[in-house]
């Protein structure tokens, strides 16, 4: 059994509108269980594009992608949704919490969708994730009553709810101040250390990247360091 949880082989990606531009060129890399990796590079180098391909949300590419040794090409939309639900946790630059729901409910939603545990168990698990992130006191507030840093921590809790194979982040600290960025980074580090969680974070914050285990640097659609 290989330790690779994510592998990309010769991934190429073109944008066709307005002109055909190659944004990713022969991306080959793999990620092992428990790795804390970051992708850095200048704006427009294709790092976010790569992340969306790796997260199965973008299916328009050439080359092959394996998640947990399963080939992604040719899967139906419903199957991809299931993979995202079960194996991938997301943290975006913006928190994207649903304001209609409480914090607890926001964290529970992907768990309820998975349907592996009963509602009671999902609720219990959501509480535990919130406790890891130190915001269990806010559980019953509406999402829009929290501060920016708290919201981002709720978003991380939501990413953790189904014990994903990997957490992917797209500039998760991009909208936060220094102090909150620090908190988020420490949480990530704790997750790696205590739970052997794999993380793949896109960032343009070099200081953040330097403290991760592995840096993947991109330039003009190519990986130049990994």
Partner 1 sequence: MNFKLISDISRSLLVARWRQTLVAAIGVTFSITMFITLLSFMSGLNDLLDGLILNRTAHIRLYNDIEPSKHQPVDESNEYYKSYNFIRSIKPKNDRLEIYNSGAIMAALKKDSRILGVAPKITTPIFYNVGTTDLTGVINGIDVEAENQLFKFSDYVTSGNYIDLKNIPNSIILGKGVANKMLANIGDVIQVTTSKGELMKLKVVGFFQSGLLDLDNVQSYASIGTTQKLLGASNNYITDIQIKLNDILTAPPLAKEYERLFGVEAMDIQTANSQFETGSSVRSLISYAVGITLLIVAGFGIYNILNMMIFEKMDSIAILKATGFSGKDVNLIFITIALSIGIFGGLLGLIFGLGLSNAIDQIPFNTASLPTIKTYPINYNPKFYMIGAIFSIITTYFAGYFPARKASKIDPVIIIRGK
Rounded Cα distance between 56 and 193, Å, is 27
168 or 187: whose CB is closer to partner 1?
Answer: 168
Q: Least separation, in Å, of the C-beta of 92 and partner 1?
A: 6
Rounded CA separation 93/112 (Å)? 24
Which lies closer to partner 1 via its Cβ, residue 148 or residue 186?
Answer: 148
Residue closer to partner 1 (CB basis): 141 or 214 = 141
- Minimal distance, residue 213 CB to partner 1, in Å: 25
Cβ 97 to partner 1 shortest distance, Å: 8
* Min dist. Cβ of residue 128 to partner 1 (A): 18
Nearest to 30 by CA among 58, 5, 51, 2: 5
Closer to partner 1 by CB, 12 or 32: give it: 12
Look up residue 102 and give its two tokens: 């409480």
Distance between alpha carbon 26 and the CA centroid of its chain, in Å? Answer: 22
Q: Which is nearer to partner 1, 175 or 189 (CB)?
A: 175
Task: Report the run of H or E that residue 112 belongs to, with start and end.
Answer: helix 103-114
With a CB cutoff of 8 Å and minimum separation 6, the contacts of 121 are: none
Maximum alpha-carbon separation in the chain: 52
The least distance separating partner 1 from the CB of residue 78, rounded to whole angstroms, comes to 4
Q: Which residues of this chain interact with partner 1, rule CB under 8 A?
A: 48, 52, 55, 57-58, 77-78, 81-82, 84-86, 90, 92-94, 96-101, 109-110, 112-115, 158, 162, 170
Do 65 and 54 form a contact (C-beta atoms < 8 A)? yes
């Amino acid at each position: 059994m290989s330790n690779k949880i994510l592998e990309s082989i010769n991934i190429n990606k073109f944008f066709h509108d307005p002109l055909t531009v190659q944004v990713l060129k022969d991306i080959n890399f793999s990620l092992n269980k428990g790795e804390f990796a970051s992708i850095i590079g200048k704006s427009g180098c294709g790092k976010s594009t790569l992340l969306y391909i790796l997260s199965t949300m973008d299916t328009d590419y050439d080359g092959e992608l394996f998640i947990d040794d399963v080939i992604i090409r040719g899967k139906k939309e419903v199957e991809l949704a299931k993979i995202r639900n079960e194996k991938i946790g997301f943290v975006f630059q913006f928190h994207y919490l649903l304001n209609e729901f409480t914090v607890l409910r926001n964290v529970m939603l992907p768990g309820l969708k998975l349907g592996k545990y009963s509602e009671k168990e999902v609720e219990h698990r959501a509480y535990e994730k919130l406790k890891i992130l130190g915001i269990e006191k806010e559980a019953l507030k509406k999402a829009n009553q929290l501060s920016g840093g708290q919201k981002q921590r709720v978003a991380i809790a939501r990413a953790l709810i189904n014990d994903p194979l990997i957490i992917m982040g797209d500039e998760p600290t991009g909208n936060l101040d220094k102090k909150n960025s620090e908190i988020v980074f420490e949480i990530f580090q704790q997750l790696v250390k205590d739970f052997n969680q794999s993380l793949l974070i896109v960032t343009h914050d070099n200081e953040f990247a330097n403290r991760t285990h592995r840096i993947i640097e991109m330039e003009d659609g190519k990986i130049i360091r990994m």
